């Protein structure tokens, strides 16, 4: 199925790039008649409803004509990544340096696997997070707590919306 998903991603990326969009994620879920092809797109400034509709219409037509999605029928869903978007690729981390992030690691780092903090840097396959509790940051003279994590050790990471 990986080869099929690569072909699907290639088609979706061509369509998205023609509209100035990037493909964040492509996933095929379910089986039988309840299969869902979920495509997540993004662009600086955010994705509009029209962006989603255009990619859905054009990519759906090509996918159907080329019979790129193996098996029976499927539902195509095209959406934005949302405020709490996943961070998957190294470029995602680099793009969102300065943002709040919540992440889980495969192996413990400094005695823990779940962290929330400000993404301070990303590069060379590593990220640095300032995980100093917000309450302590407000007090003067409190030392900051930073951790470094290899991207290969990140199981899951999402942005934390700030209002």
In a domain, 116, yes or no: yes
In a domain, 37, yes or no: yes
Among 32, 53, 79, which residue terminates a domain? 79
Q: Is 138 exposed, middle or buried (0-12, 13-18, 19+ CB in 10 A)?
A: exposed
Tell me how far apart the alpha carbons of residues 118 and 96 are, in angstroms, rounded to a whole number.
10
Q: pLDDT value at position 135?
A: 62
Same domain, 72 and 11: yes
Sheet with strand 75-79: strands edge to edge: 22-29, 36-42, 75-79
Among 40, 59, 79, which residue terminates a domain? 79
Confidence class for position 144, pLDDT limits 50, 70, 90:
confident
Q: pLDDT value at position 73?
A: 85
Tell me how far apart the alpha carbons of residues 68 and 90 are, in angstroms, rounded to a whole number.
28
pTM for this structure? Answer: 0.75
Q: pLDDT value at position 163?
A: 85
Q: pLDDT value at position 1?
A: 46
Same domain, 144 and 122: yes
Tell me the residue range of the domain where 112 lies.
Answer: 90-159
- The stretch 60-86 carries a mean pLDDT of 90
Confidence class for position 32, pLDDT limits 50, 70, 90:
confident
Same domain, 68 and 101: no
Quote the percentage of the chain above a pLDDT of 90.
71
Among 47, 79, 111, which residue terminates a domain? 79
In a domain, 84, yes or no: no
In a domain, 13, yes or no: yes
- The stretch 99-104 carries a mean pLDDT of 96
Q: Note every long-range contact of 2-7, with CB atoms under 8 Å and residues 24 or more positions apart, other chains counting.
A: 4/28, 4/68, 4/69, 4/70, 7/68
Closest CA to 136 of 117, 162, 109: 117
Q: pLDDT value at position 70?
A: 78
In a domain, 125, yes or no: yes
Whole-number average pLDDT of the chain: 90
Instruction: Report the CATH number at residue 141.
Output: 2.30.30.180
End-to-end CA distance of the chain: 40
The beta strands (E) that lie in the chain are given as 22-29, 36-42, 75-79, 100-109, 112-123, 126-130, 146-150, 154-159
Summarize pLDDT for 113-140 with one digit per residue, the tens.
999 999 999 999 999 999 988 665 555 5
Q: Is the pLDDT of residue 142 over 70?
A: no
């Amino acid at each position: 199925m990986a080869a099929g998903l690569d072909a699907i991603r290639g088609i979706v990326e061509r369509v998205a790039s023609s509209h100035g969009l990037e493909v964040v994620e492509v996933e095929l879920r379910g089986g039988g008649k309840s299969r869902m092809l979920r495509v997540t797109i993004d662009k600086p400034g955010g994705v509009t409803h029209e962006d989603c509709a255009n990619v859905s219409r054009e990519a759906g037509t090509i996918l159907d004509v080329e019979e790129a999605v193996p098996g029976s029928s499927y539902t195509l869903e095209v959406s934005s990544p949302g405020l709490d978007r996943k961070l998957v690729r190294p470029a995602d981390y680099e793009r969102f340096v300065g943002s709040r992030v919540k992440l889980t690691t495969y192996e413990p780092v400094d005695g823990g696997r779940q962290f929330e903090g400000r993404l301070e840097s990303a590069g060379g396959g590593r990220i640095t997070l300032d995980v100093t509790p917000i309450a302590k940051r407000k007090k003067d003279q409190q030392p900051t707590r930073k951790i470094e994590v290899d991207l290969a050790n990140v199981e899951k990471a999402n942005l934390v919306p700030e209002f």
